Amino acid sequence: MSIVELRQYTLHPGARETLIELFEREFVTGQEAVGITLGGRFRDLDDPDRFVWLRAFPDMTHRRRSLEAFYTGPVWREHRDVANATMLDSDDVLLLRGPNFTPEPGAREVTVTVCHPSDPAAFDDYAARHLRPIHALHRTEHADNDYPLLPVRTGEDVRVWFGPTAAPSPWPHQHLRLEPVTTSPARPRGDGPSRTGRLVG
């Protein structure tokens, strides 16, 4: 299991493709060069101004070292102003423990469930009955965020999985419908809630 960040960015209207082009051209190889494993990158099908992505680290110590190397390194320094100019909020981040997730080649749509179980033992029973390895189940990592320049959501205990399940979760949950960025841009199908926050820089 890895330390995984599930990152949801709310962008300025019309800026998503600008960020995706920059991300794929510069930030994938730039992060991989310092030991970060990139997972899926997605367009939110229900919010044309949201970009969702995952990245993974072997453990919290590697996370801190890799983030320090990337955010003080030449790739981020050169391109951060352009990247940050696309963003309204980059702080919606779940720190998780799990296998990371990359969609199958050719996938057109991925469903992500973010669940807030009130009873962890009951959730374990639900997961045993309804989730399989293909769902790539992740759980909240409760270690302190030792790279505070990049905030993460705290004070919650979530379970995250990818793909549909045979039975709906009985606990509060959110579904994300995502399109891998390797496919052509989809026509927006609705507006989601906007959020504001601090930009990283």
Q: What is the pLDDT of residues 166-181, one digit of tens each?
A: 899 999 999 999 999 9
Residue 196 lies in a domain: no
pLDDT at 189 over 50: no
Residue 198 lies in a domain: no
pLDDT digits (tens, 9 = 90+) for 91-118: 999 999 999 999 999 999 999 999 999 9
Tokens of 64: 């801190």
pLDDT computed for residue 30 by the predictor: 98
pLDDT computed for residue 193 by the predictor: 37
Residue 158 lies in a domain: yes
CATH number for the domain spanning 138: value is 3.30.70.100
Residue 192 lies in a domain: no
pLDDT digits (tens, 9 = 90+) for 65-83: 999 999 999 999 999 999 9
Residue 189 lies in a domain: no
pLDDT at 154 over 60: yes
**With pLDDT > 90 as the criterion, what percentage of the chain qualifies?**
88
Residue 200 lies in a domain: no
Q: In the structure, how many helices (H) and strands (E) does the chain have?
A: 5, 8
Residue 27 lies in a domain: yes
Domain around 113: 2-180
pLDDT computed for residue 148 by the predictor: 96
Q: How many domains does the chain have?
A: 1
